[in-house]
Structure 1
Amino acid sequence: MAFVAPAVGLLLQSTCSSFTSTTRRAAVPRGVTRPSRAGRVSGPVMSATSATSAAAGVAATGTDAMRILLPEKLSDAGIAMLSDGCEVVKDYDLTPERLLEVIGDYDAIIVRSATKVTREVLEAGTRLKVVGRAGVGVDNVCLPAATERGVLVVNAPTGNCVAAAEHSIALLCSLARNVAAADATLKAGGWNRGAFVGASLVGKTLGVLGFGRIGREVARRAKGLGMTVVAHDPYLSAESAATAGVTASSLDDTVAAADFLTLHMPLVDSTRNLLDARLLGLAKPGMRLINAARGGIVVEEALLAALESGAIAGAALDCFSQEPPFKFPESVSAALAAHPRVLATPHLGASTKEAQEDVAIEIATAVKSALNGEMVATMINAPVISPEVLSVMRPRALLAERLGALAHTLSGGSVSGDVTVTYSLSNDQEDTRLLRSAVIKGLMQPGLDVPINLVNADGVARERGLQVTEVVRVVDSTGDGAVSVEVKGAPTLEGRIINGAPILTRLGEFEPDLKLEGTMLVYAHKDQPGQIGKVGTYLGEQHINVSYMGVARGAVGGVALVMIGLDTKPTAAVINHINSLVADQSMPPLLLEF
C-alpha cells in the first residue's frame, strides 16, 4: 500500500497531535544526544512480553476475530471488505446512551457525521483500537481522548472530494439564478419571472476559504465557468496558488474581494465561528455565501442579521450548527433554513452513489490496515511515516520494544529516572519516532492498562515524567541497526538485527547471542563443571523440551549467563528448583516470553 501525507490545509492546523521535542540534533560523527520527557512507572514483576506490532500499529493479539461497529450506513462494498476476516455489526438505531453500553465489545467503530465519539465513548471502549471517520472532517471525534488512550483515528479524505465540489458548484449556480425559489413558485401555480432575476457568474470573483482537495476541485470548476478565483489557506503559498491558476490572499482580503464566497475547511478550534460579524462586514454589498463544509464555521446569528439587512444577498447552506434544524425549532439554524434568501440542503455534499462507495472502500481499507498493525496514510492523531523509513525501522522497532520490555523486567518491574536509548543509524537526521515509541511501550506497558503505541507513547511518557534521552551513533549505511537501552536499576542491554531477527548482544557484562523470540529461561550460574548438566537433566525429568541452550561467560571461574529456549512454559515450582540447583543469586532464573 502506498503511503502519502494526510490532507494538508486547515485540517492539519490543529487536529494533528505529535510529539514535539526541543532537542537539537548536532551532526557529529560519534553521537547525537536528544532528550525527551517520559515518567516514573512501577508495576509487578512480569515476563517481558511484546506484541509483534512493535508500537507501529494497533494490532491485537489472540485469535478472536476483530469486531467492528457500524452505527451509520456504509456501502455494501465497504462492508464486504470489512467482513473479510472481521465481524461487522450494523446497528443504525443506536442512541448515545446505548452506544456507551456496547462500545466496550468492539475493536473499531466507523462513523459518518451523526455519531459523536466523545471522551465518554472512548473511555467506555476498553478494547477500542481504531475510530474510522467515513469522510474528511473529524470534529465529531474527541481527538485528545483518542490520543491519550492510544486509539488511532483515521479518515477517508479523498473519496468524496469530487462529490462535495460538485455540490458546491450546484449550490453556487442555483443560488445565483434563484433556482429553488423559482421552482417552488412554479409548483405552487405562480409565474413571477421578475422576482427571480439572477446574477451572472462570468467575470465574478469566487473567494475560496480552505484550499485543500475540495477547495481545489471547486476552484477548477469555477474557472471553467469564467470566474476569477481568490483563495485563502494558511498553507497556500503564492507559487502553489499560481500553479492552480488562483490568487492567494489573506483571510480579510479574500472575503472583501468575493462576489461569491465558498467554505471548504474542517471544523476545528481555529475555524470555529471563523466567519463572524466582523468578517461579514468586510463583504461587498450583495455578496452571496456557500457553505458545504461544516456548520459552526459561520456565526449563524451574524449571517442571519446580514441577510435580514440585505448586506448579504443570499446564502446556500448544506450544513448547520444544529442538525437537523427542524429538531431545534427555536434555533438560529432553523431560522436560517427557513429564510427566503437561503437555499438549504440536508448535508448532501458527499451524497452521490459513487462517493459513498469510494468513501466506504477508503475507510474500510484504512481501518483494516490499522487493525492489522500497519501504518495508515490517513492517520489523524499520529505522525505518518513513509514506507521507505517504515521498512527499515519496523524490525528495529521490534528490537527496541523487546529490549524495553526486558529492561522493565530486569529492573524489578519499576522504571524510574533517566533512560538512555542509543541507536546506530546511517545519519543523525533519521526519523526515530517509531523506535522511541517502541522503547517506551516496552518499558511502560506492563505497568499500565492503557495500550501504548505510536499514537500516544510520547504523551504517556511525558505525563509520567520519565526522562528519556536519545543518542544517535552515526554508522555507515551497512550498519546493523544496533539499539541499546540503559535504565536505572537494570543492566545495560544492547541488541542488533541479524538476518531480520532481534538478537540480544549485551546484557550487562555478558555478550550473549540470544534471539528475543519464544519462551526462554535466563539465569546466571557459577562457571564450573556440571552446572548445565544438572539443569538439563532436571528439565528432562519434568518433560520440558529444550529447543536451544547458550552460555555467555564472564571471567573464567566467575559467573556465566545461561540462556535456555523452552518448548513449554515451566511452572513457578520448576523455576524455583532450578534456582536452588545452580543459579547464582546475582541473577536468579528469569522467564522471558516474546
Structure 2
Amino acid sequence: MKVLIADGVSQMAVDILKDEFECDVRDKLPADELLAIIPDYDALIVRSASKVTAEVIAAAKNLKIIGRAGVGVDNIDVAAATDKGIIVINSPGGNTIAATEHTCAMMMAMARHIPIANETLQKGEWNRKKYTGVELKGKTLGVIGMGRIGSGVAKRALAFDMKVIGYDPYINEERCKDMGVTVGTFDEVVEKSDFITVHMPLTDTTRDMINKDVMARMKKGVRLVNCARGGIINEADLREAVLSGQVAGAAVDVFTSEPIPADHPLLGVPGIYVTPHLGASTVEAQIGVAVDVAQGIKAALNGEPVMTAVNMAPVSKQVMNVITPYFELAERLGCAVRALADGAIKKLEITYNGEIADVNTKMVTTAVIKGMLDSEMEKTVNYVNAPGLAKERGLKVNEIKDKDTERFANIITVTAYSGDKSVSVQGTLFGDKGRIIKIDDNRVDLAPQDCILICPHINRPGVIGQVGSIMGAAGVNISGMQVGTTSVEGTSLMILTLDKDVPKDVIKLITSMDGIFGAKVIVFDAN
C-alpha cells in the first residue's frame, strides 16, 4: 500500500510508515498536483496547509484513510470522506500541552503588554508607565470549551489564583468541580469574566459565536484569547470592540484564512497581539501529532480499528482494549441474521449481557451493522460509513444492556426484525475466539467461519442421510455437523459446516425434500 505525506511531518512518523508501506513525502504539495496523484494512494497525511476537498476525495479511488497531524480537521471535507467510507483521523492529544501553554503565554503577554514593551524598548524607548498591565490573581477566567486544552488552561489559571468559570455543552460537571472550576452557562461566562479563552472546534454552531452582540454584553475592559480555531471570534467585530475600548485586549493565534494578508483587520490595532498559528509549534508537539497519526494509519491499513477517528464513535484506549476482541464476532453475528432473515430487515436489536454492558459498545454495534450490510451493498462497507448506510436504508438500530448473564461472562445477541418475523443469533468469546451459541431458541456451538447450512427438519430416519448424499453428489464436503431438537415437537435443527458455498440449485433440491422445512446458508468468509 502507498502513503502520501502532503505536508512535512516528523521523520519519526515517516520511519513508522516506511516499515510496512511505500511512503512518498511531498511537502507543500500544490492543490492541482494533489488532485492529480491522489488516485494512486491508500492513505494521506496532511497538516493545515493542504486542503482535502470533496473533489480530491472523489478522485481518490484507493484512499482508505486521511490523517491530520494536528487537532482541527476543517481543511478536510469530513462529510465527503464519510460518505465514501474513508476514515478521517486526527491527533487530539499530541499537541495538547503545546496549545495549552501557548494559550497561557498569550494571556500573560497580553495582560502585561510584553510584545509591545519589547518592541519599543528595542527601539530605545523606555515606557514603564505607558505599559502598566493587570494581574491575573483574583480575576475571573471564562473558558469556553472544557476539553483537553480548555481544562489544561483552567488548571494553570487556578495555579495563578484566578477564578475559573467553564462552559461546554458536553461538560462533565463533577470533573470540573473536582478541579475547582465553576460550571456556568455561555451567558454567565460572557457576562462575568475578566478574561475569556475559547477552545471549541469550528462548526456551523461555533462560527462567529463571539460577535459584536456578545462582546457588547461582556464586562468593559474584558480580554479575549483565541488559540483554537479562526472564525470562532468574529475578526471584524473584534477589531471594532478593541478600538472602542469595550474589549481591552485580544491575543489571537488562529485566523479564518491563513496565512493572513497585510490588510487583515486584526493587524495594526493597539492591544491586539497576534502569532502565526504557533499553538502546536513545539518540537515535542510536532513529533507527537505526527507519530499519533502514523500509528493510526498503520492500524487502519492493517484492518484494525482506530481510536482517533473523527467520523466514528469516539472510544478511549481502555474501552478499545475491552471491545476489540468482539469486532469479528459482532460482524459475523450481523452476517448470520442477514442470511437467516426472511425479507428486508427493518430493525436491529443488539443486546449486551455481562461486563461488556458497562462500556461504550457503539463500535461493536457498528461492527454488527457492517456484517449485516456487507453482503448486500455494492460499495465498500466499513466502520465509517456503516451507520450512515443503515440510516439511508431506514434501518432502526437499538442497543439493550443488561449485566445479567446465564452461562458466560459476556454475551452479544443480535435480533433482526423483518415484517412480523424475527431471527436471533447469540454469540460469545471462548478465549479470543468467537462462537455462536444460540440461533433463535436453539442451543448450538459454532465457530462462525467458512460456510454453514442450517436446516430445520422432521425428526425421522433418513432425512439427514439424504442431505449428506446431495452434498456429496454436488462435491461439497461436510467438515462438521450438529443436530438438536427444536421447540417444535417432532422437529430437529441440522447445522452443517461446509468447506465452500452451496450452489443455489443444490439448496433448491434440499428444500424440495420431504421433511425439510427450509435451508439457509451463511457464508462468513464473504466478510
TM-score interval, normalised by the smaller of the two chains: 0.7 to 0.9
- Native 8 Å contact 1:527 1:559 kept in 2: no
What does 1:334-483 correspond to in 2, within 5 Å?
A: 334-385=264-315, 394=324, 396-409=326-339, 416-419=344-347, 421=349, 423=351, 425-426=353-354, 433-467=362-396, 475-476=405-406, 478=408, 481=411, 483=413
Distance (Å, rounded) in 2 between the aligned partners of 1:469 and 1:284: 47
* 1:439 CA displacement: 3.0
2:148 maps to: 213
Change in CA separation of 1:439 and 1:357 when aligned onto 2, cut-off 3 Å = closer
1:302 maps to: 237
- Native 8 Å contact 1:264 1:293 kept in 2: yes
* 1:393 CA displacement: 5.1
Aligned partner of residue 165 in structure 1, secondary structure: helix
Equivalent of 1:134 in 66, 69, 73? 69
Distance (Å, rounded) in 2 between the aligned partners of 1:159 and 1:374: 21
1:565 maps to: 498
Distance (Å, rounded) in 2 between the aligned partners of 1:172 and 1:348: 14
Matched, 1:158 2:96: no
- Native 8 Å contact 1:208 1:264 kept in 2: no
Change in CA separation of 1:206 and 1:529 when aligned onto 2, cut-off 3 Å = closer
Change in CA separation of 1:315 and 1:421 when aligned onto 2, cut-off 3 Å = closer
Change in CA separation of 1:279 and 1:558 when aligned onto 2, cut-off 3 Å = closer
Deviations 1:121-175 (A, max 9, x none): 4444344333333222333333444444443333222222222222223323333
Distance (Å, rounded) in 2 between the aligned partners of 1:313 and 1:510: 73
1:91 maps to: 26
Matched, 1:518 2:447: no
Distance (Å, rounded) in 1 between the aligned partners of 2:185 and 2:484: 70
- Native 8 Å contact 2:149 2:199 kept in 1: yes
What percent identity do the matched residue pairs reach? 33
* 1:397 CA displacement: 4.5
Equivalent of 1:311 in 207, 231, 246? 246
Aligned partner of residue 170 in structure 1, secondary structure: helix
Matched, 1:167 2:96: no
Matched, 1:231 2:165: yes
- Native 8 Å contact 1:521 1:563 kept in 2: yes
* 1:548 CA displacement: 1.8
Change in CA separation of 1:278 and 1:379 when aligned onto 2, cut-off 3 Å = same
Aligned partner of residue 496 in structure 1, secondary structure: strand
1:110 is aligned with what amino acid?
A: I
What does 1:45-84 correspond to in 2, within 5 Å?
A: 65=1, 67-84=2-19
2:427 is aligned with what amino acid?
A: R
Distance (Å, rounded) in 2 between the aligned partners of 1:223 and 1:559: 70
Distance (Å, rounded) in 2 between the aligned partners of 1:486 and 1:410: 9
Distance (Å, rounded) in 2 between the aligned partners of 1:424 and 1:228: 46
Change in CA separation of 1:96 and 1:562 when aligned onto 2, cut-off 3 Å = same
1:112 maps to: 47
2:243 is aligned with what amino acid?
A: E
Aligned partner of residue 335 in structure 1, secondary structure: coil
Distance (Å, rounded) in 1 between the aligned partners of 2:508 and 2:104: 81
1:288 maps to: 223
Change in CA separation of 1:510 and 1:138 when aligned onto 2, cut-off 3 Å = same
* 1:115 CA displacement: 2.8
1:294 is aligned with what amino acid?
A: R
Change in CA separation of 1:68 and 1:286 when aligned onto 2, cut-off 3 Å = same
Change in CA separation of 1:174 and 1:456 when aligned onto 2, cut-off 3 Å = same
Deviations 1:243-289 (A, max 9, x none): 43444444344344444433333222332112111222234444333
Deviations 1:459-487 (A, max 9, x none): 32122113556677853363673635446
Higher relative contact order (CA 8 A, sep 6+): 1
Change in CA separation of 1:78 and 1:592 when aligned onto 2, cut-off 3 Å = same
Q: Structure 1 length as normaliser, TM-score?
A: 0.71
- Native 8 Å contact 1:209 1:263 kept in 2: yes
2:387 is aligned with what amino acid?
A: D
- Native 8 Å contact 1:422 1:483 kept in 2: yes
- Structure 1 stretches of 5 or more lacking a match? 1-64
2:47 is aligned with what amino acid?
A: R
Distance (Å, rounded) in 1 between the aligned partners of 2:171 and 2:467: 71
Distance (Å, rounded) in 1 between the aligned partners of 2:451 and 2:230: 55
1:12 maps to: none
Matched, 1:527 2:456: no
* 1:230 CA displacement: 2.9
Distance (Å, rounded) in 2 between the aligned partners of 1:416 and 1:579: 20
Matched, 1:592 2:523: yes
Distance (Å, rounded) in 1 between the aligned partners of 2:410 and 2:225: 57
Distance (Å, rounded) in 1 between the aligned partners of 2:292 and 2:132: 40
- Structure 2 stretches of 5 or more lacking a match? none
Query: Is the deviation greater in 197-206 or in 301-310?
Result: 197-206
Q: Structure 2 length as normaliser, TM-score?
A: 0.79
2:203 maps to: 268
Deviations 1:26-55 (A, max 9, x none): xxxxxxxxxxxxxxxxxxxxxxxxxxxxxx
- Native 8 Å contact 1:396 1:481 kept in 2: no
1:3 maps to: none
2:447 is aligned with what amino acid?
A: K
2:131 is aligned with what amino acid?
A: V
Distance (Å, rounded) in 1 between the aligned partners of 2:11 and 2:308: 22
Distance (Å, rounded) in 1 between the aligned partners of 2:344 and 2:378: 18
Distance (Å, rounded) in 1 between the aligned partners of 2:490 and 2:413: 30
